[in-house]
Structure 1
Amino acid sequence: MTTNDQVYIEAILNGDANAFTVLVDRYKDLVYTLSLRMMKHTEEAEEAAQDTFIKAYKSLNKFKGDSKFSTWIYRVAYNTCLDRLKKNKRQQYTVEINEYTEHQVKTLDNALDQIEAKEKEQTIQNCLALLPSDDSFLLTLYYFEELSLEEIAKVVGLKPNNVKVKLFRSRKKLATILKKNLDNDIIDSYERTYRAAFR
């Protein structure tokens, strides 16, 4: 957490409600993106994001500062979306996982590294939209926020080891979708290079 965040949090707790708008401006884009990953619909994501900030404001006194404020607000967003999904009982997306090995998942990561940064981001964003909510949320924290396993564990309320297992399964699902969307030449060339290196 930046000391900057802490300054605003203390101001809010001391009665300066306007200070909260600074935190909203700072985190609204990412909270919305994470909500969209979970809810899959723009209107519902907007409502979930608004709910997140209302809940965060009301329970700010519970924020102890033992993790980053961003980690805490992502956790509030995650739980808000989970509650809404349970209430809606919406049919979740499912992805058939092919039996990908760890090497194949890494191969896809390497293939992605060869794509221009902007195109890579768009490719992943498009594929994330096709994943189940939980997987999509985890991978957003992993790929775009570059959170550590410990930080992601705090957001989703699991042990780091469990997050590692879930992340690998999520990456396998993403690999399944990416394989359909990526240029096969990129993937094939990487698989050839990998095989040659380990002969």
Structure 2
Amino acid sequence: MANNADQQLIQQTLNGDSRAFAQLVEKYQEYVFTIVIRMLKVREEAEEVAQDIFIKVYESLSSFKGESKFSTWLYRIAYRKALDQIRKNKNRVQAFELMEELTEDKHVLASNPSEVMEEQERNQRIKQCIHQLGHTEAALITFFYFDELSIKEIASITELSEDNVKVKLHRSRKKLYDLMKRQAVLSENLRNHGQTI
């Protein structure tokens, strides 16, 4: 079922209150952009697609029946729009830029400056590794680990079976782990090389 606060904003929007829709956009724009940038890899393009997603959501809002959470319905639209854009770009070489910060780490409030720096470096490494994943892999990792969606919700968004989501998520996680391990070894080698110079 849709979240009551979201449902209320949806109803107000359908009744013509544009401020209510602005609140929905404000609440979900960061989540939508994170999914899109991880799939498309190019910031300017991701910003345009994210705007298109909210236009599509506004136009389709009356079709939202509240059978799932609003966020699940919204992520499904975002995922499809990003896939559409990827298909359009199929024959074009994309310029890769650094991704948006994964998420602000609200759980770690380190008082020690070296801990803060280590945390920032770790987030940067994770971000770079996710950037190397394929668009579907990046989306699955984001949905499961950063948006904390269930397998069932991810299946609904991606239109994959739950078993297929589990298999793809397992492979994506392993690929991400291998990339991170490789990057850690490379960083260590560079650090050691720097000390011997």
Structure 1 length as normaliser, TM-score? Answer: 0.75
The correspondence of residues 6-155 of structure 1 with structure 2, limited to 5 A, is 6-90=7-91, 120-155=122-157
Q: What's the CA shift string for 1:58-111, capped at 9, x where partnerless? A: 001111111111111111110001111111115799xxxxxxxxxxxxxxxxxx
Q: What's the CA shift string for 1:122-175, capped at 9, x where partnerless? A: 432221111111100110111111111001111111111110011111112112
Matched with 1:4 is 5
How much does 1:24 deviate?
A: 0.4
Unaligned runs of 5+ in 2: 95-117, 187-197
Answer yes or no: is the 8 Å Cα contact 1:149–1:164 preserved in 2. yes
Two-structure CA RMSD over aligned residues (Å): 2.3
Query: More deviation in 27-36 or 15-24?
Result: 15-24
Aligned equivalent of 1:173, options 175, 183, 186: 175
Unaligned runs of 5+ in 1: 94-115, 185-199
Matches of 2:140 and 2:63 in 1, distance apart? 24
Matches of 1:155 and 1:46 in 2, distance apart? 20
AA of the residue aligned to 2:164: N
Structure 2 length as normaliser, TM-score? Answer: 0.76
CA gap of 1:121–1:2, structure 2 versus 1, over 3 A, is farther
AA of the residue aligned to 2:20: A
Matches of 2:182 and 2:7 in 1, distance apart? 45
Matches of 1:63 and 1:16 in 2, distance apart? 17
Q: Secondary structure at the match of 1:66?
A: coil
Matches of 1:180 and 1:161 in 2, distance apart? 29
Matched with 1:194 is none
How much does 1:182 deviate?
A: 2.8
Q: Secondary structure at the match of 2:18?
A: coil
How much does 1:119 deviate?
A: 5.1
CA gap of 1:10–1:117, structure 2 versus 1, over 3 A, is farther
Q: What's the CA shift string for 1:27-73, capped at 9, x where partnerless? A: 11111111001110000100110011000110011111111111111
